[in-house]
Structure 1
Amino acid sequence: MILYGIPTCDTCRKALKALADAGHTVEFRNLRAPAMTAEDWAPLIAEFGPGIINRNSPTWRGLSDWMRESEPEAQLLEHPTLMKRPLIRDGGKMTLGWDAAAQAVWL
């Protein structure tokens, strides 16, 4: 199981703890370092489409109009923290966020 996020994200930390407490072995994948490649992003974007972008984030609000209108891949390659967090992947199963629906899948 891989959890994609950033170490300073409270929601990512809560998800990591809950998953570990539930007995899952979780690999944490920092979105910032090492940088995610287009090949890394492709299956995640294919699964969630434009919904993978967090349009409520301060990073989103600071983007130029041109960048806001670009494809999710271009946005995430330039600003990986635009991704809604956490994204959890286990084999072919993926969830985005840590709401009740995501928790029901993993816990």
Structure 2
Amino acid sequence: MMVKLYGIPNCDTMKKAIRWLGEHGITYQFHNYKKVGVDEKLLRQWVDRVGWEALLNRRGMMWRRLDDSVKAEINEESAIRVMLETPSIIKRPVLETDKTLNVGFTEEAYSKLFS
């Protein structure tokens, strides 16, 4: 099974996910938003699968830094634009396998995914 993990390496939630994958012997390919950004076509596929609301991190520092006028008018297109311009506003990690797309990390979700 092909496993890709998307995010930024210095995020605490990313570190938990990476540790969990390592402890369970799961090999993955890491995609660093900070270095590589995010591809628009891929981001739109994710939005189609899980919705932009699931991908947009409204709890983090990047959201708080957004202009209030942008936050007030947020919709699918503006959210996609914001996520493309500032990939670190995408909720982390995004874990993609051949069949699934998982946003965020919990041990329970990963255990179920890889059982």
Do the structures match in fold with TM over 0.5? yes
> Whose helix proportion is higher, 1 or 2?
2
Identity %: 29
State how far apart, in whole Å, the 1-side matches of 2:68 and 2:61 are.
Answer: 14
CA RMSD of aligned residues (A): 1.6
Aligned length: 107
Task: Give the match for residue 47 of structure 1.
Answer: 49
Task: Give the match for residue 114 of structure 2.
Answer: 106
User: After the TM superposition, which segments of 4 or more aligned residues of structure 1 sit over 4 Å from their partners?
Assistant: none
User: Could you tell me the TM-score, scaled by structure 2's length?
Assistant: 0.82
State how far apart, in whole Å, the 2-side matches of 1:47 and 1:34 are.
Answer: 22
Structure 1 segments unaligned to the other structure (5+ residues): none
Match for residue 65 of structure 1 among 64, 68, 72: 68
State how far apart, in whole Å, the 1-side matches of 2:49 and 2:68 are.
Answer: 25
- Opposite residue 48 of structure 2, the aligned amino acid is A
Give the structure, 1 or 2, with the largest relative contact order (CA under 8 Å, sep 6 or more).
2
Deviation larger for 86-95 or 13-22:
13-22
Structure 2 segments unaligned to the other structure (5+ residues): none
Q: Deviations over 1:78-106 (max 9, x none)?
A: 11111111110011311111124422323
Q: Deviations over 1:3-62 (max 9, x none)?
A: 111010121122112112212111111112212121121111222212211101111011
